[in-house]
Amino acid sequence: MLQLDEKLEAIFGEVVRRNAGETEFHQAVREVLESLGRVVAKRPDFTADALIERICEPERQIIFRVPWVDDRGNVQINRGFRVQFNSALGPYKGGIRFHPSVNVGIIKFLGFEQTFKNALTGMPIGGGKGGSDFNPRGRSNGEIMRFCQSFMTELYRHLGEYTDVPAGDIGVGGREIGYMFGQYKRLTNRFEAGVFTGKGLLYGGSRARTEATGYGNTYFVQAMLATRGRSFEGRKCVVSGSGNVAIYTMEKIREFGGTIVACSDSNGYIVDEKGIDLDLVKEIKEVRRARISEYHRLKGTGTHYIEKGSIWDVACEVAMPSATQNEISGRDARELVKNGVVAVGEGANMPSTPEAVRVFREAGVLFAPGKAANAGGVATSALEMQQNASRDSWTFEQTETRLATIMRGIHDTCAATAEEYGAPGDYVLGANIAGFVRVAESMRALGVI
Ligand code: NDP
């Protein structure tokens, strides 16, 4: 851990005391505070009126019971969350996660990160995040629908296109968004398209939203590589996960001439040195909703499936963690560096532990933090809101062109901010400071809120 100055250390101590046991939230706050030392030194006005303390405190936290009936007729109980973190720049905006590991600390960390990420996009959106400890794995379509309907029966009263606009995240894709939006529409008797993003194309979705987070991360890494006169062409890449972000990261890397040699799910990882067959991964994960081990069973020779173990043991030049938080440990980072990694682009939120980030920085690896690199998803969500507001529908090319421009803009903002604050090439510092300054300036203009 880096040393904080006295004032920031006191703020951090108070965050830990007020949010006991929420380790992921502490980790996310600490990382931002570690970047703020240079801002506070240059702009002491930012420490006035408890501005930083207010930014670390969510505006509203909602926790609720989600009862539903499974296929056997048994009543099940889950817990639902929505943390409305900051609305200084616009309505709360951030995804919903369904995973058994979800708790208030995880949602709070994601909402905190989201606030700065959304600020970095330059678009008028505040930060929020939600979810449930519901485990969708192995559940029938009917069970998923009944769960989504029950979840929304409580959450709908806190949402609105000018209030709070959710989207997907782990365990929540197009199917779940359809069920939640359907229930919202039924409860409110309003076709309020702008209340959800990641919707299907038939009912107000945006082209390129499904692809946006993975494509956006790849654009960001492309811009980072270019600063050293490099590109994806001919490079070996490893992408963890095989969900929404991972699949579209692999698709764009392939288009840019890179070779993906490994991907994973929560059970294990597959290696295919000839290059992962993405159509097969899509068939396994998006159509059959099966395990990634199927890949090896179907492809056979020349491929491997390793249960447990670490995907980061596979040698690569570009690593794109796209599964979940803290999936790259210090040990994994050292292994990646030893094997010659030149760039890391975080598709997932906070996938690298603080120790891993330190290892990458010390080794001079180009490192794109999630709050900048995976902002393409939410940026395209904001484009979806624009289309909904104007009752318009853009082409794929039009939307992707906007996405690419936004990602290069975020890259350049992070790089310029890092330079301005005396740490050229430090994208972590650049992203944290640029995001913070935008939110802080807006909060200050709005008075003590
Ligand atoms: P998906 O549910 O589509 O995919 C998640 C993938 O990660 C699956 O392959 C899953 O495996 C794997 N995974 C999940 N949890 C774990 C775990 N604990 N250990 C190992 N593997 C795990 O989610 P997304 O692709 O949407 O999200 C992935 C990451 O990207 C998350 O951190 C999310 O917050 C972040 N993100 C997503 C955005 C989006 O637009 N969807 C936007 C910005 C960030 P399995 O199938 O076995 O569960």
What pLDDT, in 10s, does the model give residues 282-313? 999 999 999 999 999 999 899 999 998 999 99
Exposed / middle / buried, residue 127 (Cβ in 10 Å: 0-12, 13-18, 19+): buried
For residues 375 and 117, is the Cβ–Cβ distance under 8 A? yes
For residue 351, the ligand 1 atom closest to its alpha carbon is 32
Residue-by-residue pLDDT tens, the chain, 449 positions:
778 888 999 999 999 999 999 999 999 999 999 999 999 999 989 999 999 999 999 999 999 999 999 999 999 999 999 999 999 999 999 999 999 999 999 999 999 999 999 999 999 999 999 999 999 999 999 999 999 999 999 999 999 999 999 999 999 999 999 999 999 999 999 999 999 999 999 999 999 999 999 999 999 999 999 999 999 999 999 999 999 999 999 999 999 999 999 999 999 999 999 999 999 999 999 999 999 999 999 998 999 999 989 999 999 999 999 999 999 999 999 999 999 999 999 999 999 999 999 999 999 999 999 999 999 999 999 999 999 999 999 999 999 999 999 999 999 999 999 999 999 999 999 999 999 999 999 999 999 98
Distance from residue 242's CA to the centre of ligand 1 (Å): 8
227: its two tokens: 């600063």
| Closest protein CA for atom 47 of ligand 1 | 266
- 67/146 Cα distance (integer angstroms): 9
pLDDT digits (tens, 9 = 90+) for 263-286: 999 999 999 999 999 999 999 999
> Which one from 93, 129, 199, 285 is the annotated catalytic residue?
129
What's the pTM?
0.97
| Residue among 169, 176, 218 to mutate when testing ligand 1 (max atoms within 8 A of CB) | 169
- 331/334 Cα distance (integer angstroms): 5
Q: Give the N- to C-terminal CA distance of the chain in Å, as an integer.
A: 31
Distance from residue 415's CA to the centre of ligand 1 (Å): 27
| Closest protein CA for atom 28 of ligand 1 | 323
Residue 7 catalytic?
A: no
